[in-house]
Amino acid sequence: MQCSLEMLASHASAVDAVRAGDVQPGDWLIVRTRNSTYALRANQDGTFDASGGWFSRNEQHGVGLRIAGCTMGGSALLTRILAAPGMFLEFGNHVRTTRICEVRLLRVEMAATIH
């Protein structure tokens, strides 16, 4: 069975995923893949600071990275999905993870300022 890009896009909303709109600055996204674990901290400008996985193995600083989106293993990139089990996360620097096994969004509640 062949899947069209339109079919993939129409089913994307039904995927159990963390989407770009779900994440606020300061939140952490923990992504466990088949081979690695990534810790991604959301920045105010929509980028992420990444550690673990490829970044640790290659002694790279994952600071201010964009998440391009997720793929099902092909070239169709779902740009509004940051991470979803069964998919592959692709960073803006073209690093693609192995298949995602688990995703956790850790919400950081900002403390109220006392005047």
pLDDT(61) > 60:
yes
Domain spans in the chain, listed from the N-terminal domain onward: 13-106
Quick one: pLDDT band at residue 3, thresholds 50, 70, 90?
A: low
Q: How far apart are CA 108 and CA 28, in angstroms?
A: 8
* pLDDT confidence band for 74 (50 / 70 / 90): confident
Percent residues over pLDDT 70 in the chain: 82
Dihedral, 45, 81, 22, 61 alpha carbons, nearest 10: -40
What are the backbone angles phi and psi of residue 10, rounded to the nearest 5°? Answer: -70, -30
| Opening angle at CA 38, ends 107 and 21, nearest 5 | 40
Model pLDDT for residues 24-53, shown as the tens digit of each residue: 999 999 999 999 999 999 999 999 999 999
Among 1, 9, 14, 15, smallest CA distance to 86 is for 15
- Of the candidates 2, 11, 3, the residue with the CA atom closest to the CA atom of residue 78: 11
Please give the model's pTM, rounded to 2 decimal places: 0.80
Measured CA to CA, the distance from residue 106 to residue 45 in angstroms comes to: 18
- What pLDDT score does 60 carry? 83
pLDDT score of 102 more than 50: yes
